[in-house]
Structure 1
Amino acid sequence: MSSPEVVVMGRLSADIYPAQIRTPLREQRNYVRYVGGFAGNVCTGLARLQVRTAIVSKVGNDGHGEFIRDFLTGEGVDAGWLRIDHTLNTPVVFCEIWPPDRFPLLFYRTPTCPDWELTTDDFDLEAVAEVAILLVSGTGLARDKSRVAHMAALERHRHTTIFDLDYRPSFWSGAEAYRHAVRAALPRADIVVGNEDEVRAATGVEDPRQGVAALRALGPGVLILKRGGEGAALFDGDRVNEVAPVRMEVVNGLGAGDAFLASVTHGLLRGIDLETAVRRANWAGAYVASQVPCSEAMPYLKDVDAAVPSIS
């Protein structure tokens, strides 16, 4: 691969998804394994949208880590900065699937895991600083080593930086710890993406619009508020654009936000105006939510191009 256009840092996992939906974990006997986590899903989504993408993360020295590496390289992701931790195992995630809106997760990644042990020795800071877009998420700030590496990348980066709020309560001692970490990172972000619950967690403000204003006051010029079945809201300068949702039957909503982010990022790279990019992202998110997998359900560019003109 030639030089990447985008670098995605952060969380990886082997997602262990049930073969049966609407069934509690205690009754499940059969599962399918997929690549998951913020970085795994977003990298796959970008690669399928024909974006040259590199990942910065870590996996364990085990079969799950090999599975993740093989899948990502097979999708065309540059895994040169996907390092191996020889002490910790690759994290796994189990879930239950209760459409349309309940998808409880069981994470096996505490007290720490390979991607939380990421350091600046694991990647080329100067090379990352020069890519067109750097994508990071809140989860990468949840442990000291990873937080230092993420902040170093944010501080060095010379172009567009997108920060996904990506709040997972079980990764933090409390919302205040998450809030403190996010407040340190956001002055270095150009665009913030998150849902209403994540905005509340990041600000402590109950009203989403006031929370958006509080986050933007820290520096980011653009905030994209994901609203699930209600679409998205784009806050850009003094403008607020409500972008209509795309209606599809929801099967598993867990990967929708990552598909959304990949599509927005593709739009920015290709000079698509931001409102249109968000409209395309709404379709991509709905498409993934209509299926069981996350990474393996990410749409290809031809799918998005064909579908978006039909959105009213």
Structure 2
Amino acid sequence: MSEPDGPQPPYAYDLIAMGRLGVDLYPLRAGVPLAEVDAFGKFLGGSAANVAVAAARLGRRTALISRTGADPFGAYLHTELRGFGVDDRWVTPVPAYPTPLTFCEIFPPDDFPLYFYRRPKAPDLEIRPEELDLAAIRAARILWVTGTGLCEEPSRSATLAALAARERRGHTVFDLDWRPLFWGGEGGASGAGGRTGAAAVGVARPHYAAALRHATVAVGNLDECEVATGEREPEAAARALLAAGAELAVVKRGPDGVLALHRDGTRAEVPPVPVEVLNGLGAGDAFGGALCHGLLAGRPLPDVLRYANAAGALVASRLACSSAMPRPEEVEALLAGRVEAVRSDGYGMVGRPRPEAVRSEAHGREARGSEAYGSGTHGSEETRPAAREDERP
């Protein structure tokens, strides 16, 4: 089902991630509205970047394809990527646009509104097909791309070109990564779609279908699966992702854990890892990096998911995203039930293990509101009523 570790060409990366990169400015106090926050922590952020950091923390050789502004925040991100052990050779400046900033509010256990400053356009949407190192992309053991990379040109064409260059070799992962604001929508899928949610889904779905034709692995929460396939029931959504082209479908179900189906008939369903959530943003990215780590190691699918859940849970129990990504010994300690696994990430704020499953799912890069727990998700897309204004420069 997966290729185990073994000798690899010296130039091949374990993981190349492609997509969003920016600066996260997070409050240093939980439960305080942004209007009242007086101290922030500055962190590397963006889903693709966080996945690369997460895999690097687990000992994998990783690289990122992205872009920043030609500004001090861009210089900061290069320093951070190198410090985390992520190759930044394909992270290039775009003088016309500033490096994106993202603010959040922290209301544990499941409310983490995000405020994106990505106007007039985010540099990571200026990745161009002609600038891709297709030989390196083909040689990587895993390529990880995201739904956000499909929302505008030239990033859309570049993402599809990278996927096509893989010719379905190795593990080619499509992180469904639904951010309706980036597609002109206000809410999520289905009835939560808001005034323009359905229109945004309609625009996005054909591009998601094009990406799925090239992907061997699809990863997403229930909203994201519905955007991609029209199916929301987990089993039906997983089967629809397989029918669309994936060989492995990973469906993140918040407090109900994770379901994965493989085309060869393998099925795995694991519960979330219980922790006290501090900040669910980043839990899904930790899940993604650990998922890649497990697939590369050739572990049985249930073990891969349990390990990824634990990695996501650790990040959900901490303040930061990138700097909170766990090391192998921390994941193993949490799986063994040792309390010292859940510890501060250096900012004096930390959650604790819980005896029961408290919404702790940690799958997919930056938690998503109600799915920010111990198995991994994304960040809250319900960006408060003022979020449309907050997108403006």
User: What is the TM-score when the length of structure 2 is the normalising length?
Assistant: 0.76
Task: Choose the corresponding residue for 1:251, options 278, 289, 311.
Answer: 278
> Equivalents in 2 of 1:2, 1:292: separation in Å?
35
1:229, 1:247 within 8 Å by CA — same for their partners in 2? no
> Equivalents in 2 of 1:191, 1:16: separation in Å?
31
> Equivalents in 2 of 1:204, 1:270: separation in Å?
33
| C-alpha deviation, 1:257, in angstroms | 0.5
Corresponding position of 1:4: 13
| C-alpha deviation, 1:72, in angstroms | 0.7
Corresponding position of 2:108: 99
Tell me the secondary structure at the aligned position of residue 110 of structure 1: coil
- Is the counterpart of residue 180 in structure 1 residue 191 in structure 2? no
> Equivalents in 2 of 1:261, 1:130: separation in Å?
20
Q: Which amino acid aligns with 2:76?
A: F
Corresponding position of 1:164: 175
Task: Choose the corresponding residue for 2:76, options 49, 52, 67.
Answer: 67
The count of aligned residue pairs is 312
Corresponding position of 1:290: 317
1:106-132 CA distance string (max 9 Å, x none): 111134211000012333112211111
1:124-176 CA distance string (max 9 Å, x none): 11221111110011011011100111111000113220111110110003111
- Is the counterpart of residue 217 in structure 1 residue 243 in structure 2? yes
1:223, 1:235 within 8 Å by CA — same for their partners in 2? yes
> Equivalents in 2 of 1:273, 1:16: separation in Å?
38
Tell me the secondary structure at the aligned position of residue 83 of structure 1: strand
2:174, 2:212 within 8 Å by CA — same for their partners in 1? yes
> Equivalents in 2 of 1:11, 1:108: separation in Å?
13
> Equivalents in 2 of 1:161, 1:29: separation in Å?
42
Structure 2 regions of 5+ residues with no counterpart? 1-9, 185-199, 339-354, 356-393
Corresponding position of 2:124: 115
Task: Choose the corresponding residue for 1:277, options 304, 311, 323.
Answer: 304
| C-alpha deviation, 1:310, in angstroms | 4.3
1:273-312 CA distance string (max 9 Å, x none): 2220110000000000001101110001222233334499
Which has more strand, going by share of residues? 1
Tell me the secondary structure at the aligned position of residue 254 of structure 1: coil
| C-alpha deviation, 1:2, in angstroms | 5.2
| C-alpha deviation, 1:239, in angstroms | 3.7
Corresponding position of 1:36: 45
2:239, 2:261 within 8 Å by CA — same for their partners in 1? no
Task: Choose the corresponding residue for 1:144, options 146, 153, 160.
Answer: 153
Task: Choose the corresponding residue for 2:234, options 204, 208, 226.
Answer: 208
Tell me the secondary structure at the aligned position of residue 45 of structure 1: helix
> Equivalents in 2 of 1:60, 1:288: separation in Å?
28
2:64, 2:87 within 8 Å by CA — same for their partners in 1? yes
Q: Which amino acid aligns with 1:207?
A: E
> Equivalents in 2 of 1:171, 1:208: separation in Å?
25
> Equivalents in 1 of 2:11, 2:56: separation in Å?
13
> Equivalents in 1 of 2:245, 2:119: separation in Å?
32
Corresponding position of 2:89: 80
RMSD: 1.7
Corresponding position of 1:265: 292
Corresponding position of 1:193: 219
Bigger drift between 31-40 and 228-237 goes to 228-237
Q: Which amino acid aligns with 2:176?
A: L
1:116, 1:146 within 8 Å by CA — same for their partners in 2? yes
| C-alpha deviation, 1:213, in angstroms | 2.1
1:43-70 CA distance string (max 9 Å, x none): 1101110000011000111111111110
Structure 1 regions of 5+ residues with no counterpart? none
Tell me the secondary structure at the aligned position of residue 188 of structure 1: coil
Corresponding position of 2:368: none
> Equivalents in 2 of 1:133, 1:239: separation in Å?
21
> Equivalents in 1 of 2:267, 2:120: separation in Å?
40
Task: Choose the corresponding residue for 2:138, options 121, 129, 133.
Answer: 129
Bigger drift between 208-217 and 146-155 goes to 208-217
User: What is the TM-score when the length of structure 1 is the normalising length?
Assistant: 0.95
1:110, 1:171 within 8 Å by CA — same for their partners in 2? no
